[in-house]
């Protein structure tokens, strides 16, 4: 049976370090890291994420603001709020929860956030920096996966890593972070000819597809490390990932559960980026 990777435990370990660094920063400079979270519309999953982010801010000792805007908010109204937050010195990070209603262009919104406050690392400058390996912020979910691997002393150097999914938020940056750690990386997607043949090569398999039970046990190499980024809701309302967990755990060496795997790490890394942003602001001042 695979060892379960406990994302809750690792996220608390990281948040406790952030909490201590935040207390030091406050004592040294009077600065308190500040995060603004904006939610447009009332998607229930997004509301839960926003609430969890607020709680994490409280835990770490951050200042936080949350904005819940109606679903018919215009792009100009949202850009106006971002402009005000860009100019607000008590805010170090601005996060606009995705997905956005269709009258709003998500890239236009992302580009409006100052790169130094773009704690999601979604805008052109930060994506470009990640490509070059010269970054201040890493996108939260892929960074959270790398922290899990580090905590469990899983070295990816020279290993075959397969990422299923090519989104800008997870798949593409995930592949880049694995590459920075000297993995041999393959990215699969909906047009991949023989997906099981590719996933069976993986020493480390990361799935970010968003479909329940998409990765079955026969697609996993015995002894592989299996990371599930999917958060899906089954017809009975329960959460599940992309991986058929019950069968996969009989084959894998390590596996992340859903919930309690990658999810809590995403929020921990958002806290990390917000603290980094506050520390960089202080450096620019001095
Ligand atoms: N929606 C799903 N994941 C994310 C994320 O990492 N950041 C934002 N802003 N929205 C999301």
- 112 with 144, same domain: the answer is no
Ligand 1 pocket residue status of 118, Cβ below 6 Å: no
Question: What is the spatial distance between Cα 195 and Cα 197, in angstroms, rounded to a whole number?
Answer: 5
Residue closest via CA to ligand 1's atom 1 equals: 98
- 147 with 238, same domain: the answer is yes
* Among candidate residues 45, 108, 90, the one with its CA nearest the CA of residue 266: 45
- 256 with 167, same domain: the answer is yes
- 103 with 183, same domain: the answer is no
Within-domain flag for 23: no
Instruction: Identify the domain containing residue 107 by its residue range.
Output: 30-116
Ligand 1 pocket residue status of 140, Cβ below 6 Å: yes
Q: What is the pLDDT of residue 48?
A: 86
Question: What is the spatial distance between Cα 161 and Cα 175, in angstroms, rounded to a whole number?
Answer: 8
Ligand 1 pocket residue status of 50, Cβ below 6 Å: no
Residue closest via CA to ligand 1's atom 2 equals: 98
- 56 with 145, same domain: the answer is no
The enclosing domain of 221 has a CATH number of 3.40.50.720
The owner of tokens 């996060």 is: 95
* 188 sits in which H/E element: strand 184-188
DSSP track, 97-128: PSSPPTTS-HHHHHHHS-GGG-TT--SHHHHH
Domain count, the chain: 2
Do residues 215 and 205 touch, judged by C-beta distance below 8 A? yes
Q: Which sequence positions are flagged as catalytic?
A: 53, 97, 120
Q: Which atom of ligand 1 is nearest to the CA of 139?
A: 6
96: β partners = 38
Q: What is the pLDDT of residue 45?
A: 82
- 65 with 110, same domain: the answer is yes
Ligand 1 pocket residue status of 97, Cβ below 6 Å: yes
Q: Which atom of ligand 1 is nearest to the CA of 98?
A: 10
Each residue's pLDDT tens digit in the chain (286 positions)? 999 999 999 999 999 999 999 999 999 999 999 999 999 998 888 888 899 999 999 999 999 999 999 999 999 999 999 999 999 999 999 999 999 999 999 999 999 999 999 999 999 999 999 999 999 999 999 999 999 999 999 999 999 999 999 999 999 999 999 999 999 999 999 999 999 999 999 999 999 999 999 999 999 999 999 999 999 988 898 999 999 999 999 999 999 999 999 999 999 999 999 999 999 999 999 8
């Amino acid at each position: 049976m695979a060892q379960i990777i406990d994302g809750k435990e690792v996220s608390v370990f990281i948040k406790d370090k952030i909490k201590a660094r935040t207390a030091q920063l406050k004592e040294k400079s009077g600065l308190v890291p500040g995060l603004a979270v904006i939610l447009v519309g009332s998607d229930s999953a997004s509301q839960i994420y926003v609430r969890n982010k607020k709680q994490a801010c409280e835990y770490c000792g951050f200042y936080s603001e949350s904005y819940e805007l109606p679903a018919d908010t215009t792009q100009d109204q949202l850009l106006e709020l971002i402009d005000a937050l860009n100019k607000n010195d008590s805010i170090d990070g601005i996060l606009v929860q995705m997905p956005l209603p269709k009258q709003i262009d998500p890239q236009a919104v992302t580009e409006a956030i100052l790169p130094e406050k773009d704690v999601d690392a979604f805008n052109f400058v930060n994506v470009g920096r990640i490509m070059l390996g010269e970054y201040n912020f890493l996108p939260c979910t892929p960074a959270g996966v790398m922290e899990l691997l580090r905590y469990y002393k899983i070295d990816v150097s020279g290993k075959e890593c397969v990422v299923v999914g090519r989104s800008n938020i997870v798949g593409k940056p995930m592949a880049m972070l694995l590459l920075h750690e000297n993995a041999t990386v393959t990215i699969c997607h909906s047009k991949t000819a023989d997906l099981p043949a590719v996933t069976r090569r993986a020493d480390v398999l990361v799935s970010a597809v968003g479909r329940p039970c998409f990765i079955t046990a026969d697609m996993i190499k015995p002894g592989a490390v299996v990371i599930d980024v999917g958060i899906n809701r089954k017809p009975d309302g329960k959460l599940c990932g992309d991986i058929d967990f019950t069968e996969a755990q009989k084959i894998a060496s390590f596996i992340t559960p859903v919930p309690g795997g990658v999810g809590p790490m995403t929020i921990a890394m958002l806290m990390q980026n917000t603290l980094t942003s506050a520390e960089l602001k202080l450096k620019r001042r001095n």
